[in-house]
Structure 1
Amino acid sequence: MDLKNNLLKTLSGEESDVVPVISVTQVGVVEAMEKTGAFWPEAHQDADKMAALGSSLYELAGLECARIPFCLTVEAEALGCQVDLGTNERTPQISRTPFTSASDINVPSDFVEKGRIPVVLEAVKKLKDKYGDTLPIIVGITGPFTLAGHLLGVENLVRYMKIKPNEIEDAVENTLDACMDYVEALMDVEPDVICVAEPTAAPELIDPLQFKSMVKPSLEDLSNFIKTSKVLHICGSTQPIISDMASIGYDGISVEEKVDIKMAKEELGKGGRVIRTGGRTMSMGGGSTSKIIGNISTTQTLFRSTPEEVKAEVKRALEDGVDVLAPSCGLAPLSPIENIKAMVEARNEYFGI
């Protein structure tokens, strides 16, 4: 199977060979680090190790993509935040920010030459050189709203939305500029998919009206700027904002297990087009709406359940009509590789391949 073409056709709404099984979120797990010698935190800073770990679950478990980087602190660091790079079991975190207001946020002209951005760009080149057109390369970036939260502090961000909404609008306008500069640099190295992660826009943190008025416009601008396949990931119970997520312009929307796939597809008016594979009929959606990506639990199923339980959840998601099979969020570093293998095997069993 042509893995890259299969994914891109699915995201573009064309009839594809089979439901792809990928991850648009972080893929670094300790077991893969041990097998490849590409450990955190070094793999956050070294392009060779980043590329090796980013493709490790393709090599070791059959996951149908390579995905880098492994955190959402790359842009904030390049803008001047201090980052704790963590351990082999903990992802990087912002440890200090120099920003106290939106007016402090300034995107330097050499932004894409700072911090780890050059490492990510070089790792994409290495993955492209190694896999060519056989494997889709996915790069994750931080959305403008979440990046504003990294710079100002998430608590301040949520508080300012109520008492200083103009401050948030200014901050997001500035971080959108940074996102666009980063995307422009990525376009030069030609990843196949860009995943914009906006975890701070989860309904558990802001209400749907705030999402519509204060987050959605910047995501629309960013979507229009990205000239390749693109995915939007938002954590949590995103059922209340599914329609808004799908109307922004991204080819796929990545959702967690809290979202009911059947209800989401009904809400988006999906259905209509079907494919028959391995004796099964599979709804693949129709029209120009975003494809639904997900939503195998990372906190429970892929992290601590048995392979048999993984397969059962995968088959339920396929029955519900998920367009692209994937973990619901970033993989926990101690997730076992056998559970990722089980996810791929379950997809193969479902379609008789």
Structure 2
Amino acid sequence: MGKELLMKVLNHEDTGGQLPWVPFAGVHAGKLKGYSGKEVLTDASKLIESLREVHKLYEPDGMPIVFDLQLEAEILGCDLLWADYNPPSVITHLYDKEKGIPCKCKFPTPESGRIPIVLEAMRVMKEEVGDDTALYGLITGPLTLASHLRGSDVFKDMRKDPEYVKMLASFCAEYAQKMAELYIDAGMDVIAVVDPLVSQIAPKVFSNLFHDSFKAVFDFIRMKGVKSSFFVCGNASYQIEVMCETGPDSMAVDENVDMVPAKATTDKYNIALSGNIPLTTTMLFGTQQDNMKGVLDLMDSLENKKNLIISPGCDMPYDTPMENTVACAMTVHNPEEARAMVVNYSATSFDDIEVEIPDYANTDKVLIELFTLDPEQCAACTYMVKSVTDIYDEIKDIADYVVYKYFIKEDIARTAKMGLTNLPTMCIDGESVYISIIPDRDELIQQLTTRYNAKKGKHGEL
């Protein structure tokens, strides 16, 4: 009853306590057939083969076709850096030197870039499994696409030139509508507007600069007769309400968000909520029992099961063990059987991994530590790292930086030892300064200069 169950939730109907399961298997789908991230995102036959395997192994009620937030930017002229175990990342930006807005002649067509590959996969999967599984078409949201075009300066623009940001976001919203239309015509049941960077700006900034753009996209999707999802990564806890105000049918959040208060807000707006099995500590590095217990705890934490979808917190890591995802699927579909299997459960721990915390007080330079989920796959993490690397030539005499990645066990242990609960976070000399917020260039340089001068004074070098 997979698709029927999921569509009931998206229509806000009672399901009698049954919950749908949507595994966000992006390039991980390729892992199941031995293909790299690039292969599965550039070859229709390999993509289709991989999606068939996802459907067979994970018994999804709904599933995405492609999870690639760089596809639109590539079509518009940005260069990509490809990886074997992640989607590509944007490495050049059209307007990082001078502000601009693309011509509407650049809107996507069925022949643009890699869209033919995606559309072929959508049509094949619709024909083969579309009667029993709801299919998701994922598009890049207006804020993240704007950041791909403008680069990290878009965060400075929000403060110094908000009218330009509104115009750029409006173009990106129109672009998103064109992408949505292509995917709807290919048979997609749900269009997910994926925008990791929403969690990196203040709710007031979102309301003032981006509300209209996102609402236009969700209104368009609804007008076309399909369902929508607003997909955000990072600590979007404070943005949940303003996201709801844009009118999506559902929302997807990751492990940075506490589902209990988030669902209280989405329930107020009668919006379905999807989430949020931890990607690394549970799905990537955990045992089957860890995954069963995690799903059960998530389900048990939410008293009201209406408007609820169980899914990974975001795009699953490439190397996620197949058996762990199977365990999640089994638990959602057969929770009582799973309960019997975790009676003697013992959690996987990272406490025995030793990490050394720097002696911040006695370093010659200011130390920037960037705690990320994955700077290659997570757009919010990418732009937080770029906020440092873009200014490194100007700060290298006063600051050093290091990047930690939450898919490395030692870095998971370090994150816990630092007491960090939200990613990405930028620590400066051991202090959490930017938590799920990307600083603008001038502010960060001033922050580092002030701290360096104080450090020199403390060391008696003035």
Normalising by the residue count of structure 1, what TM-score does the alignment of the two structures yield? 0.87
Determine which of 64, 68, 71 is the counterpart of 2:68: 71
Structure 1 equivalent of residue 15 of structure 2: 16
Distance 1:34 1:310 in 2: 19
Is residue 129 of structure 2 the alignment partner of residue 134 of structure 1? no
Structure 2 equivalent of residue 98 of structure 1: 94
Structure 2 equivalent of residue 201 of structure 1: 198
For structure 1, the 5+ residue unaligned runs are: 271-287
Is residue 215 of structure 2 the alignment partner of residue 220 of structure 1? yes
Letter of the structure 2 residue corresponding to residue 134 of structure 1: D
Is residue 340 of structure 2 the alignment partner of residue 341 of structure 1? no
Structure 1 equivalent of residue 170 of structure 2: 173
Deviation at 1:4, TM superposition (A): 0.9
Structure 2 equivalent of residue 278 of structure 1: none
Distance 1:55 1:138 in 2: 15
- Closer/same/farther in 2, CA of residues 251 and 55 from structure 1, 3 Å limit: farther
Secondary structure at 2:279's aligned position in 1? coil
Structure 1 equivalent of residue 350 of structure 2: none
Letter of the structure 2 residue corresponding to residue 334 of structure 1: D
Deviation at 1:214, TM superposition (A): 1.4
Structure 2 equivalent of residue 186 of structure 1: 183
| Deviation string, structure 1 residues 263-297 (Cα, Å, up to 9, x no partner) | 22233455xxxxxxxxxxxxxxxxx6111100101
Deviation at 1:26, TM superposition (A): 4.4
Secondary structure at 2:104's aligned position in 1? coil
Counterparts of 1:1-353 in structure 2, within 5 Å, are 2-16=1-15, 18-23=18-23, 25-29=24-28, 33=30, 35-87=32-84, 89-100=85-96, 101-108=98-105, 111-112=108-109, 113-153=111-151, 155-202=152-199, 205-226=200-221, 227=224, 228-269=226-267, 289-321=270-302, 323-350=308-335
Letter of the structure 1 residue corresponding to residue 138 of structure 2: G
Residues 294 and 327 in structure 1, CA contact (< 8 A), matched pair in contact too: yes
Residues 215 and 247 in structure 2, CA contact (< 8 A), matched pair in contact too: yes
Aligned length: 328
Q: Which moved more, 1:217-226 or 1:254-263?
A: 254-263
Distance 1:214 1:93 in 2: 25
Residues 4 and 134 in structure 1, CA contact (< 8 A), matched pair in contact too: yes
Letter of the structure 2 residue corresponding to residue 142 of structure 1: T
| Deviation string, structure 1 residues 68-122 (Cα, Å, up to 9, x no partner) | 21310111111111222321x1221112233344534223256222111121111
Distance 1:252 1:102 in 2: 34
| Deviation string, structure 1 residues 306-350 (Cα, Å, up to 9, x no partner) | 111111111111112360000011111111111111111222332
Residues 144 and 179 in structure 1, CA contact (< 8 A), matched pair in contact too: yes
Pairwise CA RMSD of aligned residues? 2.0
Letter of the structure 1 residue corresponding to residue 11 of structure 2: S
Secondary structure at 1:293's aligned position in 2? strand
Distance 1:107 1:47 in 2: 28
Deviation at 1:53, TM superposition (A): 2.2
Distance 1:54 1:120 in 2: 12
Residues 102 and 168 in structure 1, CA contact (< 8 A), matched pair in contact too: no
Residues 55 and 66 in structure 1, CA contact (< 8 A), matched pair in contact too: no
Distance 1:35 1:350 in 2: 25
Q: Which moved more, 1:325-334 or 1:57-66?
A: 57-66
Secondary structure at 1:295's aligned position in 2? strand
Letter of the structure 1 residue corresponding to residue 33 of structure 2: T
Distance 1:179 1:216 in 2: 14
Secondary structure at 1:96's aligned position in 2? coil
Letter of the structure 2 residue corresponding to residue 348 of structure 1: H
Distance 1:209 1:215 in 2: 10
Residues 55 and 67 in structure 1, CA contact (< 8 A), matched pair in contact too: no
- Closer/same/farther in 2, CA of residues 120 and 19 from structure 1, 3 Å limit: same
Distance 2:301 2:132 in 1: 29
Secondary structure at 2:325's aligned position in 1? helix
Distance 1:60 1:43 in 2: 18
Residues 27 and 41 in structure 2, CA contact (< 8 A), matched pair in contact too: no
Aligned-pair identity in percent equals 27
